[in-house]
Amino acid sequence: MRRSVGGSNRSSLRPGLISLLTLVVMLSIATAAVLTIATSHAMAALSNRQANMTLEGYEAETSAQTMLALLDDELQSTSSAKAANEVKAIDKGMKSILSKACVDGVEATHKVTGNNIVCTFVTKGGRMLTTQIALLDGRTYDVVSWKLTATPQDDSSDDTLWSGPAAQE
Amino acid sequence: MAVSDDMLTQGMQPARTGRRNVAFLIESMIVLALLMASMAVFVQIFSSAQLEGRSANRLSKAVVAATNCAETFSADPTAVPSSAQDGDLTVLCDVDVDEHEDGDLYNATITVKIEDEVLYTLHTARYLHASGGDEA
């Protein structure tokens, strides 16, 4: 209780030491709780992202391996008389091969350059498997490259914090 | 009626002390109630965060175990064990063979479990040419 200047007794709200201490402790625990829940959410999001990316990588791998098997079938079924036009014939058949080979969620395209067939398998999450296959002598092939990469996603445009002084002019 | 200062101070002191004790008790009760309520909320938050973190950790371990099995399968699809133990995780690999004209396409379904709870499932494939030289 505090005595006022005028002499009358007026009670003012004065929290005690224990209340203040409790308030400080509760605020500290609340801060720790917010940080803990944010960290656990981030860990869960990171784990899910890792799981999805791994899954998509192997989806692309499955599609590419199936494509390889179907391409091998196509090469075996092609008669040696057609061998001269092998690449042209394979180029025509690649569309159906890729549509059969692709699992759900994987899109594939191909490009023929010389004796090489470059197939690209892209998943929804942005994983890209690029395979380059060289046709050797009509019935055999050689895998030149087999590269799995991650393509940048478009939804990261909002993450830009500062674009430099030129963007602000 | 004239009242001396001594009489006033002697009479007011116990009353003032009593009011202080009551105020302290009320304040303590309020603080205790708030403390209990806050602690209940915080315990829930911490326990849910711990559960979420534990499940995220399990998922990460399961992904690593499944990737290890997939790479073993990729190296040699005929030699991959159908069941393996990785710590407290059980890794199951179910392989089926799709025969082609000049080779075999091996399809694998890799499942990672912990105590009958499925954590992660992965599908992969591997084509083995009959000659064994042209596969990726």
Write out the DSSP string of A3-43. E-TTS-EE------HHHHHHHHHHHHHHHHHHHHHHHHHHH
Residue B66 lies in a domain: yes
Sequence-separated contacts (24+) of A88-95 with Cβ below 8 Å: A90/A117, A90/A135, A91/A117, A94/A119
| Domain membership flag for residue A107 | yes
| pLDDT in the model for residue A128 | 94
Please indicate whether residue A135 or residue A40 has the higher confidence score (pLDDT): A40
The counts of H helices and E strands in chain A are 3, 6
DSSP A163: -
Least confident of A25-29, A154-158, A161-165, B118-122: A154-158
Specify the number of domains making up chain A.
2
Distance (Å, whole) CA A125 – CA A149: 11
A28 touches chain B (CB under 8 A): no
Separation between Cα atoms, residue A136 and residue A160, nearest integer Å:
48
In a domain, A6, yes or no: no
The reply to whether A63 and A23 lie within a common domain is no
Note whether B77 and B106 are within 8 A (CB): yes
pLDDT of residue B27: 82
In a domain? residue A84:
yes
Please report which helix (H) or strand (E) contains residue B111, including its range.
Answer: strand B103-114
Q: How confident is the model at residue B124 (pLDDT cuts 50, 70, 90)?
A: very high
Assess whether A23 and A72 both reside in one domain. no
Q: Provide the domain limits for residue B119.
A: 8-129
* Minimum Cα–Cα distance from B67: chain A residue: A54
Q: Let me know if residue A8 belongs to a domain.
A: no
Domain contains B87: yes
**Structural domains of chain B, count:** 1
Q: Do A20 and A56 share a domain, yes or no?
A: no
Nearest CA in chain A to B121: A55
B135 within a domain of the structure (yes/no): no
Does any domain span residue B136? no
Is A161 part of any domain? no
- Whether residues A39 and A63 share a domain: the answer is no
Across the interface, whether the CB atoms of B101 and A73 are under 8 A apart is answered: yes
Best residue in A53, A72, A133 for a mutation probing chain B (most B CBs within 10 Å): A72
| Mean pLDDT on A7-16 | 59
A82 shares its domain with A118: yes
Mutation target vs B (from A43, A132, A137; most B CBs, 10 A cutoff): A43
Residue-wise pLDDT tens digits, A74-101: 888 775 555 556 677 777 888 889 988 8
In this structure, the answer to whether residues A118 and A63 fall within a common structural domain is: yes
Q: Is A30 on the interface with B (CB under 8 A)?
A: yes
- Check CB contact under 8 Å for A142 and B49: no
Mean pLDDT, residues A27-34: 94
CA torsion angle A50 A53 A58 A59 (round to 10):
140
Residue B57 lies in a domain: yes
Angle at which helices A86-101 and A17-77 pack, to 10 degrees?
140
Domain annotation covers residue B134: no
Length of chain A: 169
Burial label, A141 (beta-carbon count in 10 A; 0-12, 13-18, 19+):
buried
Task: Report d(CA B74, CA B68) in Å as an integer.
Answer: 10
Q: How far from the centroid of its chain's Cα atoms is residue B28's Cα?
A: 37
- Residue B91 domain-assigned (yes or no): yes
For residue A62, how many other CB atoms are within 10 A of its CB? Answer: 24
Alpha-carbon gap, residue A90 to A38, rounded angstroms: 53
Is the CB of residue A110 less than 8 Å from the CB of residue A96? no
- Same domain for A144 and A70, yes or no, is yes
| pLDDT for res A5 | 44
Interatomic CA distance for residues A18 and A23, integer angstroms: 8
- Do A100 and A72 share a structural domain? yes
Q: Which domain holds residue A74?
A: 52-153
Query: Any CB–CB contact under 8 A between A20 and chain B?
Result: no
